[in-house]
Structure 1
Amino acid sequence: MSERLKPGDTAPDFTLPDADGEEISLASRRGRKVIVYFYPAALTPGCTKQAVDFTDNLDLLADKGYDVIGVSPDKPEKLADFREQEDLKVTLVSDPTKETLTAYGAFGEKKLYGKTVTGVIRSTFVIGENGTIEHAFYNVKATGHVAKVIKDLKIGDTE
Protein backbone atom coordinates (compact mmCIF):
# COMPACT_ATOMS: atom_id res chain seq x y z
CA MET A 1 0.00 0.00 0.00
CA SER A 2 1.42 3.33 -0.98
CA GLU A 3 1.35 6.31 1.31
CA ARG A 4 -1.67 8.54 1.26
CA LEU A 5 -1.28 11.99 -0.16
CA LYS A 6 -2.31 15.08 1.76
CA PRO A 7 -2.82 18.78 1.07
CA GLY A 8 0.48 20.47 0.27
CA ASP A 9 1.96 17.39 -1.43
CA THR A 10 2.95 17.61 -5.08
CA ALA A 11 0.45 15.67 -7.19
CA PRO A 12 2.14 12.75 -8.94
CA ASP A 13 2.22 13.43 -12.67
CA PHE A 14 0.73 10.94 -15.08
CA THR A 15 0.19 10.41 -18.78
CA LEU A 16 -2.57 7.92 -19.52
CA PRO A 17 -4.75 7.02 -22.53
CA ASP A 18 -8.30 8.35 -22.58
CA ALA A 19 -11.39 6.61 -23.94
CA ASP A 20 -10.22 7.41 -27.48
CA GLY A 21 -6.64 6.25 -26.89
CA GLU A 22 -5.32 9.84 -26.80
CA GLU A 23 -2.63 10.56 -24.20
CA ILE A 24 -3.82 12.79 -21.35
CA SER A 25 -1.24 14.21 -18.95
CA LEU A 26 -1.61 16.06 -15.70
CA ALA A 27 1.40 18.24 -16.59
CA SER A 28 -0.49 19.63 -19.60
CA ARG A 29 -3.09 20.98 -17.16
CA ARG A 30 -0.64 23.19 -15.19
CA GLY A 31 -2.18 26.60 -14.76
CA ARG A 32 -5.63 25.06 -14.32
CA LYS A 33 -7.25 23.47 -11.30
CA VAL A 34 -7.90 19.76 -11.75
CA ILE A 35 -10.15 17.32 -9.94
CA VAL A 36 -8.79 13.80 -10.37
CA TYR A 37 -11.04 11.03 -9.14
CA PHE A 38 -10.26 7.33 -8.95
CA TYR A 39 -13.01 4.74 -9.28
CA PRO A 40 -13.01 0.93 -9.38
CA ALA A 41 -14.81 0.02 -12.62
CA ALA A 42 -16.76 1.56 -15.48
CA LEU A 43 -20.35 0.46 -16.03
CA THR A 44 -20.98 -0.45 -12.38
CA PRO A 45 -23.77 1.25 -10.40
CA GLY A 46 -21.68 3.32 -7.96
CA CYS A 47 -19.10 4.36 -10.53
CA THR A 48 -21.85 5.30 -12.98
CA LYS A 49 -23.57 7.43 -10.32
CA GLN A 50 -20.31 9.25 -9.56
CA ALA A 51 -19.42 9.83 -13.24
CA VAL A 52 -22.94 11.09 -14.01
CA ASP A 53 -22.79 13.44 -10.99
CA PHE A 54 -19.46 14.87 -12.20
CA THR A 55 -20.90 15.23 -15.72
CA ASP A 56 -24.03 16.96 -14.37
CA ASN A 57 -21.82 19.46 -12.51
CA LEU A 58 -19.13 19.83 -15.16
CA ASP A 59 -20.30 23.26 -16.37
CA LEU A 60 -20.30 24.63 -12.81
CA LEU A 61 -16.83 23.20 -12.17
CA ALA A 62 -15.47 24.39 -15.52
CA ASP A 63 -16.87 27.89 -14.90
CA LYS A 64 -14.78 27.95 -11.69
CA GLY A 65 -11.67 26.82 -13.59
CA TYR A 66 -11.71 23.08 -12.80
CA ASP A 67 -11.00 20.24 -15.20
CA VAL A 68 -12.25 16.79 -14.18
CA ILE A 69 -10.40 13.55 -14.93
CA GLY A 70 -11.69 10.12 -13.89
CA VAL A 71 -9.15 7.30 -13.58
CA SER A 72 -9.84 3.56 -13.48
CA PRO A 73 -7.97 0.38 -14.41
CA ASP A 74 -10.42 -0.19 -17.29
CA LYS A 75 -9.13 -0.42 -20.86
CA PRO A 76 -9.85 2.59 -23.14
CA GLU A 77 -12.45 0.56 -25.11
CA LYS A 78 -14.49 -0.03 -21.97
CA LEU A 79 -14.18 3.66 -21.06
CA ALA A 80 -15.51 4.55 -24.52
CA ASP A 81 -18.51 2.25 -23.97
CA PHE A 82 -19.06 3.81 -20.53
CA ARG A 83 -18.92 7.33 -21.97
CA GLU A 84 -21.35 6.48 -24.79
CA GLN A 85 -23.85 4.52 -22.67
CA GLU A 86 -24.05 7.16 -19.95
CA ASP A 87 -23.48 10.27 -22.14
CA LEU A 88 -20.52 11.27 -19.95
CA LYS A 89 -18.66 14.54 -20.55
CA VAL A 90 -15.82 14.06 -18.05
CA THR A 91 -12.41 12.94 -19.30
CA LEU A 92 -11.93 9.25 -18.51
CA VAL A 93 -8.44 7.74 -18.54
CA SER A 94 -7.16 4.18 -18.29
CA ASP A 95 -4.57 2.99 -15.75
CA PRO A 96 -4.40 -0.79 -16.34
CA THR A 97 -0.97 -1.07 -14.65
CA LYS A 98 -2.40 0.71 -11.58
CA GLU A 99 0.80 2.75 -11.39
CA THR A 100 -1.04 6.08 -11.09
CA LEU A 101 -3.65 4.60 -8.74
CA THR A 102 -0.81 3.40 -6.49
CA ALA A 103 1.07 6.73 -6.68
CA TYR A 104 -2.04 8.47 -5.31
CA GLY A 105 -2.64 5.87 -2.58
CA ALA A 106 -5.86 4.92 -4.37
CA PHE A 107 -5.02 1.22 -4.74
CA GLY A 108 -4.54 -1.18 -1.88
CA GLU A 109 -6.34 -2.95 0.91
CA LYS A 110 -9.90 -1.93 1.59
CA LYS A 111 -13.02 -3.34 3.20
CA LEU A 112 -15.67 -4.67 0.84
CA TYR A 113 -18.80 -6.21 2.35
CA GLY A 114 -16.90 -6.86 5.58
CA LYS A 115 -13.93 -8.56 3.91
CA THR A 116 -10.46 -7.16 3.36
CA VAL A 117 -9.67 -7.10 -0.36
CA THR A 118 -7.10 -5.41 -2.57
CA GLY A 119 -8.50 -3.00 -5.11
CA VAL A 120 -9.22 0.56 -6.12
CA ILE A 121 -9.95 2.86 -3.19
CA ARG A 122 -12.53 5.39 -4.37
CA SER A 123 -10.65 8.67 -3.92
CA THR A 124 -10.73 12.25 -5.18
CA PHE A 125 -8.01 14.90 -5.31
CA VAL A 126 -8.28 18.60 -5.98
CA ILE A 127 -5.04 19.81 -7.53
CA GLY A 128 -4.16 23.48 -7.68
CA GLU A 129 -2.83 25.39 -10.68
CA ASN A 130 0.75 24.83 -9.49
CA GLY A 131 0.35 21.02 -9.25
CA THR A 132 -0.06 20.90 -5.46
CA ILE A 133 -2.81 18.86 -3.82
CA GLU A 134 -5.36 21.13 -2.16
CA HIS A 135 -7.82 18.43 -1.01
CA ALA A 136 -7.43 14.67 -0.70
CA PHE A 137 -10.54 12.55 -0.10
CA TYR A 138 -10.14 8.78 0.48
CA ASN A 139 -12.77 6.04 0.81
CA VAL A 140 -15.49 8.32 -0.53
CA LYS A 141 -19.04 7.20 -1.20
CA ALA A 142 -20.17 7.38 -4.81
CA THR A 143 -23.52 8.92 -3.91
CA GLY A 144 -23.36 12.52 -2.72
CA HIS A 145 -19.60 12.83 -3.11
CA VAL A 146 -19.65 15.38 -5.94
CA ALA A 147 -21.99 17.63 -3.93
CA LYS A 148 -19.57 17.38 -0.97
CA VAL A 149 -16.60 18.33 -3.19
CA ILE A 150 -18.49 21.35 -4.53
CA LYS A 151 -19.44 22.36 -0.97
CA ASP A 152 -15.85 21.93 0.28
CA LEU A 153 -14.58 24.03 -2.61
CA LYS A 154 -17.15 26.70 -1.70
CA ILE A 155 -18.55 26.91 -5.20
CA GLY A 156 -22.10 26.64 -6.37
CA ASP A 157 -25.16 28.10 -4.71
CA THR A 158 -23.42 29.06 -1.47
CA GLU A 159 -21.56 32.09 -2.86
Structure 2
Amino acid sequence: MKKTIKELTIHFWASIIVLAVLFLLAIFNPGGSIAATLPIGIATEMYVIGITLLAIPIPLKLFANKIKKIPVGTDKERVIKLYKRAFFLRLYIVNVVALANILLYALSRNTNFMWLTVVLFVVFAFCRPSLGEIENIIKEESK
Protein backbone atom coordinates (compact mmCIF):
# COMPACT_ATOMS: atom_id res chain seq x y z
CA MET A 1 0.00 0.00 0.00
CA LYS A 2 2.80 2.41 0.82
CA LYS A 3 4.34 1.78 -2.59
CA THR A 4 1.03 2.63 -4.27
CA ILE A 5 0.64 5.84 -2.28
CA LYS A 6 4.21 6.80 -3.12
CA GLU A 7 3.53 6.26 -6.85
CA LEU A 8 0.29 8.24 -6.68
CA THR A 9 1.99 11.04 -4.75
CA ILE A 10 4.76 11.28 -7.34
CA HIS A 11 2.15 11.41 -10.10
CA PHE A 12 0.16 14.02 -8.14
CA TRP A 13 3.14 16.33 -7.59
CA ALA A 14 4.43 15.88 -11.14
CA SER A 15 1.11 16.99 -12.59
CA ILE A 16 0.99 20.02 -10.27
CA ILE A 17 4.57 20.99 -11.17
CA VAL A 18 3.93 20.70 -14.92
CA LEU A 19 0.76 22.78 -14.65
CA ALA A 20 2.49 25.35 -12.42
CA VAL A 21 5.35 25.75 -14.90
CA LEU A 22 2.91 26.19 -17.78
CA PHE A 23 0.92 28.69 -15.71
CA LEU A 24 4.03 30.70 -14.86
CA LEU A 25 5.06 30.67 -18.52
CA ALA A 26 1.62 31.95 -19.46
CA ILE A 27 1.81 34.69 -16.83
CA PHE A 28 5.30 35.92 -17.61
CA ASN A 29 5.27 35.11 -21.35
CA PRO A 30 9.05 34.96 -21.77
CA GLY A 31 8.97 34.78 -25.57
CA GLY A 32 6.79 37.85 -25.91
CA SER A 33 5.28 36.20 -28.98
CA ILE A 34 1.70 36.56 -27.77
CA ALA A 35 1.54 40.30 -28.32
CA ALA A 36 -1.76 40.10 -30.18
CA THR A 37 -4.24 38.34 -27.95
CA LEU A 38 -6.94 36.10 -29.29
CA PRO A 39 -10.40 37.55 -28.66
CA ILE A 40 -12.60 35.18 -26.66
CA GLY A 41 -16.32 35.83 -26.95
CA ILE A 42 -18.50 36.43 -23.92
CA ALA A 43 -20.50 33.26 -24.58
CA THR A 44 -17.34 31.15 -24.78
CA GLU A 45 -16.06 32.73 -21.58
CA MET A 46 -19.33 31.99 -19.78
CA TYR A 47 -19.30 28.35 -20.93
CA VAL A 48 -15.70 27.88 -19.81
CA ILE A 49 -16.47 29.43 -16.43
CA GLY A 50 -19.51 27.15 -16.08
CA ILE A 51 -17.56 24.05 -17.05
CA THR A 52 -14.79 24.98 -14.62
CA LEU A 53 -17.23 25.53 -11.78
CA LEU A 54 -18.83 22.15 -12.51
CA ALA A 55 -15.44 20.48 -12.76
CA ILE A 56 -14.64 21.36 -9.17
CA PRO A 57 -17.27 19.39 -7.20
CA ILE A 58 -18.02 16.68 -9.77
CA PRO A 59 -14.63 14.86 -9.71
CA LEU A 60 -14.50 15.10 -5.92
CA LYS A 61 -17.98 13.60 -5.55
CA LEU A 62 -17.29 11.04 -8.29
CA PHE A 63 -14.20 9.86 -6.40
CA ALA A 64 -16.19 9.52 -3.17
CA ASN A 65 -18.96 7.58 -4.92
CA LYS A 66 -16.51 5.20 -6.61
CA ILE A 67 -14.80 4.51 -3.29
CA LYS A 68 -18.14 3.89 -1.55
CA LYS A 69 -19.17 1.41 -4.25
CA ILE A 70 -16.28 -0.95 -3.56
CA PRO A 71 -18.00 -4.20 -2.55
CA VAL A 72 -17.55 -5.59 0.94
CA GLY A 73 -15.05 -8.43 1.07
CA THR A 74 -12.97 -7.21 -1.85
CA ASP A 75 -9.35 -8.33 -1.62
CA LYS A 76 -6.60 -5.82 -0.90
CA GLU A 77 -5.15 -5.75 -4.44
CA ARG A 78 -8.56 -5.08 -5.98
CA VAL A 79 -9.24 -2.25 -3.50
CA ILE A 80 -5.91 -0.65 -4.40
CA LYS A 81 -6.66 -1.00 -8.12
CA LEU A 82 -10.11 0.59 -7.71
CA TYR A 83 -8.64 3.38 -5.56
CA LYS A 84 -6.00 4.12 -8.20
CA ARG A 85 -8.62 4.29 -10.97
CA ALA A 86 -10.79 6.67 -8.96
CA PHE A 87 -7.76 8.77 -8.01
CA PHE A 88 -6.56 9.10 -11.61
CA LEU A 89 -10.05 9.96 -12.87
CA ARG A 90 -10.37 12.73 -10.28
CA LEU A 91 -6.86 14.04 -10.93
CA TYR A 92 -7.14 14.00 -14.73
CA ILE A 93 -10.47 15.82 -14.77
CA VAL A 94 -9.01 18.64 -12.68
CA ASN A 95 -5.80 18.59 -14.77
CA VAL A 96 -7.64 18.91 -18.09
CA VAL A 97 -9.77 21.81 -16.87
CA ALA A 98 -6.74 23.57 -15.37
CA LEU A 99 -4.77 23.11 -18.58
CA ALA A 100 -7.68 24.49 -20.63
CA ASN A 101 -7.85 27.56 -18.41
CA ILE A 102 -4.08 28.06 -18.62
CA LEU A 103 -4.19 27.85 -22.42
CA LEU A 104 -7.14 30.22 -22.65
CA TYR A 105 -5.38 32.69 -20.37
CA ALA A 106 -2.20 32.48 -22.44
CA LEU A 107 -4.14 33.08 -25.66
CA SER A 108 -6.59 35.73 -24.51
CA ARG A 109 -4.97 37.37 -21.47
CA ASN A 110 -8.43 37.35 -19.87
CA THR A 111 -7.84 37.41 -16.11
CA ASN A 112 -10.97 35.34 -15.45
CA PHE A 113 -9.09 32.32 -16.77
CA MET A 114 -6.09 33.16 -14.60
CA TRP A 115 -8.21 33.27 -11.43
CA LEU A 116 -10.04 30.08 -12.35
CA THR A 117 -6.65 28.40 -12.68
CA VAL A 118 -5.69 29.64 -9.22
CA VAL A 119 -8.92 28.18 -7.82
CA LEU A 120 -8.15 24.86 -9.51
CA PHE A 121 -4.73 24.80 -7.87
CA VAL A 122 -6.56 25.08 -4.52
CA VAL A 123 -8.74 22.12 -5.55
CA PHE A 124 -5.58 20.01 -5.82
CA ALA A 125 -5.36 20.17 -2.03
CA PHE A 126 -8.42 17.91 -1.95
CA CYS A 127 -6.96 15.45 -4.47
CA ARG A 128 -3.89 14.30 -2.58
CA PRO A 129 -3.58 10.52 -2.15
CA SER A 130 -3.85 9.20 1.38
CA LEU A 131 -2.58 6.01 2.97
CA GLY A 132 -5.13 6.38 5.74
CA GLU A 133 -7.92 6.48 3.21
CA ILE A 134 -6.91 3.15 1.66
CA GLU A 135 -6.40 1.61 5.11
CA ASN A 136 -9.89 2.72 6.14
CA ILE A 137 -11.39 1.19 3.01
CA ILE A 138 -9.59 -2.11 3.62
CA LYS A 139 -10.62 -2.14 7.32
CA GLU A 140 -14.25 -1.49 6.35
CA GLU A 141 -14.06 -4.29 3.79
CA SER A 142 -12.61 -6.76 6.30
CA LYS A 143 -15.45 -6.28 8.83
TM-score, normalised via structure 2 length:
0.23
Higher relative contact order (CA 8 A, sep 6+): 2
Q: Between Structure 1 and Structure 2, whose CA radius of gyration is higher? A: 2
Structure with more of its chain in strand, by fraction: 1
Structure number with higher helix proportion? 2
TM-score (norm 1): 0.22
